[in-house]
Amino acid sequence: MTRLLHRQTASALPVAVGGEGIELIDKTGKRYIDASGGAAVSCLGHGHPDVRAALHRQLDQIAYAHTGFFTTDAAEALAERLINDAPEGLSHVYLVSGGSEAVEAALKMARQYFVEKGEPQRRHIIARRQSYHGNTLGALAAGGNEWRRRQFQPLLIETHHVDPCFAYRHQGPTESDADYAARAARSLEDKVAELGGENVIAFVAETVVGATAGAVPPVADYFKRIREICDRHGILLILDEVMCGMGRTGTLHAVEQEGIRPDLMTVAKGLGGGYQPIGAVLLGGHIHDAFAQGSGFFQHGHTYMGHPMAAAAALAVQQVIARDNLLANVRAMGTVLHDRLTAQFGNHPNVGDIRGRGLFRAIELVADRGTKAPFDPTLKLNARIKKAAMAEGLMVYPMGGTIDGARGDHVLLAPPFIVTEDQVGTIVDRLARAVEAGLQEIAA
Ligand code: PLP
C-alpha cells in the first residue's frame, strides 16, 4: 500500500524506473512515449547525457549553499544566461523551486513595488477566467478555474477575473481578429474602470493558456491592447510562462511572438526540463530599482531558492537547447504535429478545435461540432482517454470540460523538443486510438 498522498493513489499507477529520449519505462519494461512532457516539463526528454554530467559535476562541487550566506557559480551563470536571452527591459532573476512559487514571488514583487513607490492603496489583482497559475494560495487566487478555487473560498487574496482571449469559444463567427482582440481586452478596461486604475497592482495572464483551456494562443494584437491599458493606468503586466515558456511555443519566450514586454515574467517547467525542480521570476529594471532605492531588497525568500543543483540542471538544459538548435525543431515538428492532427481529426465529429503553437498543441472534444456543446463532464471523457492512451504506451495530458460548459474536454500535447517526424506520426496514431476508445466507452 502506498503512503503517498498524491493525486491518484486510489488507482494503481505504473512505477517509472527508467527514461530514455522521449520515452519513459515502467517496472514491467513497458515503454510510454512522453507526448505531454509530463506536464509540459520534459523539453529535452529523459536521461540526457549532458544534463546528467552537469548534475554529477555540480554534486561533486557543492550540492547546497544557503543564499543567505553564499552565491554559487551555477546560480549566477543561469541568471546571466536568462537575462541575456530575456525580452528587453527584464534585468534581474529571482530563482525559486517551481511554477507556483514563481507566481507567488511575482505577485509579492508587484505589491512591494507599489508600496516602495508610495502607492500602497494599490491592492487589486486582475487575472482571467479559464486560467491556471498554480496551487499555492496566492497563485490559486490568481487562477481563474472555478473547480480548483471553489472549496477554498474565500481565498486570501481577492482577485478579479475578466474574460479570457479564447477565439474558438468566444470569437463571433463574423468577428475579425482585430475586433475580437479589442473586445476581449475591453473586459480588462471595464474592470479597471470599476476598481479605479490607481487601485490596481497587476494584470496576470498566461501568454498562451496551458492546462486549463488547452494550448490557447491569443489572437493578434490582444496583448498589445492589454499592454496599452496597463501602461495607461500604471498597472504591472505579469506574464505567466510557467507552461508555455522556455521554447515550448517555438520561441524561447512565448511573448516574443506578441511584440510587447511584460514587467514581470514567470518561467518554470521547461527551464529545468524536469531534471530538477526550478522556477524563476524575470523582473524589469524598474522593479529592481524600486526595491534597491526603497527598503533595499525584495522581502521574500525560500530555503531552496537558487539551489545549485537546480541551477546547474537548468543551465545544462538551456545550453543543450541552444547548442542543438532545438527551437528550430520545435517550430518544424510543431507544424508537422499540427498537420498530422488536422489530417487525423480535422473532420472528426467530436473534435471541435485543433490549436496551439510550436510543440504546444491541443484538441478540444465536443459532443456537437456545430453547437460546440461539450460532453457532460461527469462522463469523464478526459480520464478515459488518458487511461486508453497509457494502455497504448502514450502519455498525453487530458483535462476535463467545465461544469458551466465554458469549454469541452481537451487533450494537451507537449512532446520533448527532440521529437522526430516519425515519432510525431506514432503519437497521433496512438492518440487517435485512445480518443476512439474513450468515445466508445461513453457511448456504451
Ligand atoms: N502557472 C502555470 C501557467 C502553470 O501551468 C502551472 C503548472 O501547471 C503553474 C503556474 C504552477 O506550477 P507548479 O506546478 O510548478 O507549481
Closest approach atom of ligand 1 to CA 210: 5
When pLDDT is averaged across residues 124-129 and rounded to a whole number, the result is: 97
Pairing label, strands 31-34, 236-241:
unpaired
Q: Name the residue with the closest Cα to ligand 1, atom 12.
A: 99
Average pLDDT over the chain reads 95
Q: Which bin fits 148, alpha (ψ -120 to 50), beta or left (φ > 0)?
A: alpha
pLDDT one-digit tens code per residue, 13-70: 999 999 999 999 999 999 999 999 999 999 999 999 999 999 999 999 999 999 999 9
Please indicate whether residue 240, judged by its CB atom, sits closer than 6 Å to ligand 1. Answer: yes
DSSP class of residue 86 equals S
ipTM above 0.90, yes or no: yes
Whether 35 is in the pocket of ligand 1, judged by its Cβ within 6 Å, is no
Q: Is 132 in the pocket of ligand 1 (CB under 6 A)?
A: yes
Nearest atom, ligand 1, residue 39 CA:
8
207 ligand 1 Cβ < 6 A: no
Distance 263 CA to ligand 1 centre (A): 19
| pLDDT above 90 (res 10) | no
β-strand partners of 191: none
Give per-residue pLDDT as tens, 372-424. 999 998 999 999 999 999 999 999 998 887 766 678 899 999 999 999 999 99
Res. 1: pLDDT tops 70 = no
- Which of the four pLDDT bands, split at 50, 70 and 90, describes residue 8? low
Q: Cα separation of 165 and 70, whole Å? A: 43
pLDDT digits (tens, 9 = 90+) for 60-115: 999 999 999 999 999 999 999 999 999 999 999 999 999 999 999 999 999 999 99
Confidence label for 441 from pLDDT (cuts 50, 70 and 90): very high
- Kindly tell me the burial class for residue 214, based on how many C-beta atoms sit within 10 Å of its own C-beta (0-12, 13-18, 19 or more): buried
Q: Please tell me the predicted confidence (pLDDT) of residue 165.
A: 97
Ligand 1 in contact with 133 (CB < 6 A)? yes
Instruction: Decide: 37 in ligand 1 pocket, CB within 6 A.
Output: no
Average pLDDT over residues 215-228: 98
The answer to whether residues 377 and 403 touch, using CB atoms and an 8 Å cutoff, is yes
State how far the Cα of 27 lies from the Cα of 9, in Å rounded to an integer. 17
Per-residue three-class SS string for 129-191: CCCCCCCCHHHHHHCCCHHHHHHHCCCCCCEEEECCCCHHHHCCCCCCHHHHHHHHHHHHHHH
Q: Which of 243, 302, 410 to mutate to test the pocket of ligand 1 (most atoms within 8 A of CB)?
A: 243
Does the beta carbon of 99 sit less than 6 angstroms from any atom of ligand 1?
A: yes
Dihedral, CA atoms, 249, 335, 42, 282, nearest 10 degrees?
A: -10
At 158 the pLDDT is 78
The pLDDT > 90 percentage for the chain reads 90
Q: What is the pLDDT of residue 14?
A: 94
Is residue 9's pLDDT more than 70? no
Residues 6+ apart with CB under 8 A from 421: 333, 336
Encode pLDDT of 251-268 as tens digits.
Answer: 999 999 999 999 999 999
Once rounded to an integer, what is the mean pLDDT over residues 347-371?
97
* Span 320-341, pLDDT tens digits: 999 999 999 999 999 999 999 9
Separation CA 245–CA 205 (nearest Å): 13
The angle that helices 285-293 and 99-116 make with each other, rounded to 10 degrees, is 60
Enter the C-alpha cell of residue 264: 514581470
How big is the CA angle at 40 (ends 37 and 41), to the nearest 5 degrees?
75
pLDDT of residue 395: 98
> Apex CA 26: angle with CA 40 and CA 308, to 5°?
50
Q: What per-residue confidence (pLDDT) applies to 403?
A: 61
Long-range CB pairs of 81-87 (<8 Å, 24+ gap) are 81/315, 81/318, 81/319, 82/267, 82/280, 82/282, 82/318, 83/282, 85/252, 86/253, 86/265, 86/282, 87/253, 87/255, 87/256, 87/261, 87/262, 87/265
pLDDT of 6 strictly over 80: no
The span from the CA of 81 to the CA of 58, in Å, is: 18
Ligand 1 pocket mutation, candidates 269, 304, 360, 410, criterion most atoms within 8 A of CB: 269
Mean pLDDT of 271-276: 98
Is the CB of residue 116 below 6 angstroms from any atom belonging to ligand 1? no
Q: Cα(241) to centroid of ligand 1, in Å?
A: 9
Map residue 266 onto helix, strand or coil: strand
**Amino acid identity for residue 234 in this structure:** G
**Using 50, 70 and 90 to split pLDDT, how confident is the model at 356?**
very high
Give the number of C-alpha atoms closer than 13 A to the C-alpha of residue 52, restricted to the C-beta side: 8
Q: What is the pTM of this model?
A: 0.97
Per-residue pLDDT tens digits for 157-170: 879 999 999 999 99
Q: What is the predicted pLDDT for the residue at 404?
A: 63
Q: Is residue 7 pLDDT above 90, yes or no?
A: no
Confidence (pLDDT) at 148: 84
Domains and CATH numbers, the chain: 16-34+325-443 (3.90.1150.10), 52-323 (3.40.640.10)
One-character DSSP codes across 332-361 = HHHHHHHHHHHHHHTT-TTEEEEEEETTEE
Q: 3-class DSSP state for residue 315?
A: helix
